[in-house]
Structure 1
Amino acid sequence: MEADNRLRRSGPFRAFCAKGHAPLSVDVECGTIIVRREGEAVLRASFAPGDIGRLSLAEPCRLPPDETLRAASAALEAVLADAPAIKAIALDGDGWLGAEADMLRSGFAIDAGGERHVLPELFWQFPRFWLPAPPAEPYPQTHILTNGQRHPRRAPKPTGEVYARHIPWLGQTLSFRALDIDTDLARFNRWMNDPRVAYFWKEEGDLDKHRAYLGAIAADPHMLTLIGCADGVPFSYFEIYWAKENRLGPFYDAQDYDRGWHVLIGEDAFLGRHWITAWLPSLMHYIFLDDCRTQRIVGEPAADHHQQIRNLQRSGFACVKHFDFPHKRAMLVMLLRERFFGDRLWAPNDAGEQRRSA
């Protein structure tokens, strides 16, 4: 079946490739793309679909090179978030001014027989487009011992918002921020005591128990707690861990930068497949962007949690094996960086249909 490379929607798109700069918005209408900064149009282009899509400037972009790159990134994100099957996008025209050299030098674009082609699997690996404070370079590597396990020293934990992305099939902004115990304790306590959540987490208790629970994680260098928000509304809790120091590490050949995760969806209104296809690939995207050395993301859902395992398989995870923790029988699942970016798993193939039915 031929891939559908058309833009399946029109309207506004909020871009997050300009953190620390004036916010960018993108209007898409009948193949015309307009990028605006504080209401002013800074880039006008047309988009022609196809296996090799073509983004053609309507007029030269007169921004400084770094701002030109950001404006181009906003337009590209709007296209690629909605039509992930596109093999590449050619940047047509000579109006990119001084940005061409940076495009080629950084891998933002490649030279394809004299044309500048943006490859989606490279573009979506640029942390600066989705992380408010992207790492300038990987945290230096030196190994230490924790409980007899040799592993890299981990970077300090972030604070505040760590990731933001517009989800076109929901028309909302999905973001992750570091959990703050004082701000989030009551919400976390309510979620953990919800019978639906307690069935899997088994962490019911009072505020004091949950303050101690979160405090212990905050003091543990191998774990990070995040709150997921949709248009600023908190709805989920995530624990991200370095697998080598985790309880999962001894059950498989854990590599230095493998990472795993746990999830809790606290609000019933955010259950359902159209939400899973937003937060699950976005969380995987954040994990891969946070450290370029992370090649594998792992998980250990309960072996009888069949719905979660099916969701993971649809999202690119492979089921590796069953194994037994002291407290549960689990399935080891694994997602490769190459699979995530190579198969464009940041968006489902039916994103347009999901948006219409949401």
Structure 2
Amino acid sequence: MQQRATVAGPPLPVLDGPWSARIPQTEGADLDLVHSWMQQPHVEAFWHQAWPHERWAEEIAGQLAGDHSLPALISHEGSPLAFVEIYRVQRDRLAEHYPYGPHDLGVHIAIGDVTRTGKGLGRRALRALAEGLLAADPACPRVVAEPDIRNEPSLKAFHAAGFRPAGEITFPDKTAALVVHPRGEEDMLR
């Protein structure tokens, strides 16, 4: 395992319109939204986090108190579209599976409203998110993700957003496709 460098927690992405990102509140409408999205069958099938309100409040508060991951709500034209978790790979289980750099960032994304899926918003959100994270951390060479290989809509969205395949990873709970959005060609995993 690599030596962990002292690097700040993950940043909020720098997004241009029609996109915006913000930190969710641990109560009220934000918590209700995240909770309801996580109950949706198309999200629960891959996130496995159809938790009660209280557990989601604790999860978001815990992420905000640490430096491993940052929860965020991504909006399109002012309307919330996705819940994301932005994480430092070096502090994640993914670090055991590829030669990460200290500034590598990873993302998890859930588009909760099924009526907003299948319209190209996911791939546009992922492209904006990756570019926004590279802008927020100029030392970050790549943004990665590890969607479940059975989640075909997610895989298609990541590939359409410029994430490139870099192999498969076996976790205890899933087999994942490692996908990479490099800053430049030299930042692609070999």
Q: Normalising by the residue count of structure 2, what TM-score does the alignment of the two structures yield?
A: 0.87
What is the alpha-carbon distance in structure 1 between the residues aligned to residue 9 and residue 71 of structure 2? 14
Q: Confirm or deny that 1:263 pairs with 2:114.
A: no
The answer for unaligned runs of 5 or more in structure 1 is 1-147, 167-172, 340-358
Q: Which residue pairs with 2:128 in the alignment?
A: 282
Q: How well do the aligned residues superpose, as a CA RMSD in angstroms?
A: 2.0
Shift of residue 190, structure 1, vs aligned partner: 0.8
Shift of residue 155, structure 1, vs aligned partner: 5.1
What is the alpha-carbon distance in structure 2 between the residues aligned to residue 310 and residue 157 of structure 1? 26
The answer for unaligned runs of 5 or more in structure 2 is 186-190
Contact 1:317–1:333 (CA<8 Å) still a contact in 2? yes
The structure whose residues are more often strand, as a share, is 1
Shift of residue 197, structure 1, vs aligned partner: 1.1
State the percentage of identical aligned residues: 25
What is the alpha-carbon distance in structure 1 between the residues aligned to residue 120 and residue 95 of structure 2? 32
Q: Secondary structure at the match of 1:260?
A: strand
Q: Secondary structure at the match of 1:262?
A: strand
Deviations 1:189-217 (A, max 9, x none): 11111122111111112111111221221
What is the alpha-carbon distance in structure 2 between the residues aligned to residue 261 and residue 242 of structure 1? 9
What is the alpha-carbon distance in structure 2 between the residues aligned to residue 313 and residue 278 of structure 1? 11
What is the alpha-carbon distance in structure 2 between the residues aligned to residue 300 and residue 220 of structure 1? 21
Q: Confirm or deny that 1:293 pairs with 2:144.
A: no
Q: Confirm or deny that 1:194 pairs with 2:40.
A: yes
Contact 2:10–2:105 (CA<8 Å) still a contact in 1? no
From the superposition, tell whether residues 200 and 152 of structure 1 become closer, same or farther in structure 2 (CA, over 3 Å): same
Larger Cα Rg: Structure 1 or Structure 2? Answer: 1
Structure 2 counterpart of 1:165, which letter? Answer: D
Q: Which residue pairs with 2:188 in the alignment?
A: none
Q: How does 1:58-77 map to 2 (within 5 A)?
A: none
What is the alpha-carbon distance in structure 2 between the residues aligned to residue 322 and residue 155 of structure 1? 26
Q: Pick from 133, 141, 152: which aligns with 2:6?
A: 152
The structure whose residues are more often helix, as a share, is 2
Shift of residue 153, structure 1, vs aligned partner: 3.1
Q: Confirm or deny that 1:165 pairs with 2:19.
A: no
Q: Secondary structure at the match of 1:269?
A: helix
Structure 1 counterpart of 2:184, which letter? Answer: E
Q: Which residue pairs with 1:174 in the alignment?
A: 19
Q: How does 1:61-100 map to 2 (within 5 A)?
A: none
Q: Secondary structure at the match of 1:256?
A: coil
Q: Secondary structure at the match of 2:99?
A: coil
> 1 or 2 for the larger relative contact order (CA 8 Å, sep ≥6)?
2
Q: Which residue pairs with 1:242 in the alignment?
A: 88
What is the alpha-carbon distance in structure 2 between the residues aligned to residue 260 and residue 179 of structure 1? 19
What is the alpha-carbon distance in structure 2 between the residues aligned to residue 254 and residue 177 of structure 1? 27
Q: Secondary structure at the match of 1:209?
A: helix
Structure 1 runs of 4+ aligned residues shifted over 6 Å read: none
Contact 1:163–1:177 (CA<8 Å) still a contact in 2? no
What is the alpha-carbon distance in structure 1 between the residues aligned to residue 174 and residue 50 of structure 2? 18
Q: Secondary structure at the match of 1:248?
A: helix
Deviations 1:251-305 (A, max 9, x none): 1111111110000101233212431242111101111001101111111111222
Contact 2:123–2:158 (CA<8 Å) still a contact in 1? no
Q: Which residue pairs with 1:65 in the alignment?
A: none
From the superposition, tell whether residues 337 and 198 of structure 1 become closer, same or farther in structure 2 (CA, over 3 Å): same
Q: Which residue pairs with 1:98 in the alignment?
A: none
Shift of residue 151, structure 1, vs aligned partner: 2.2
Q: Secondary structure at the match of 2:66?
A: coil
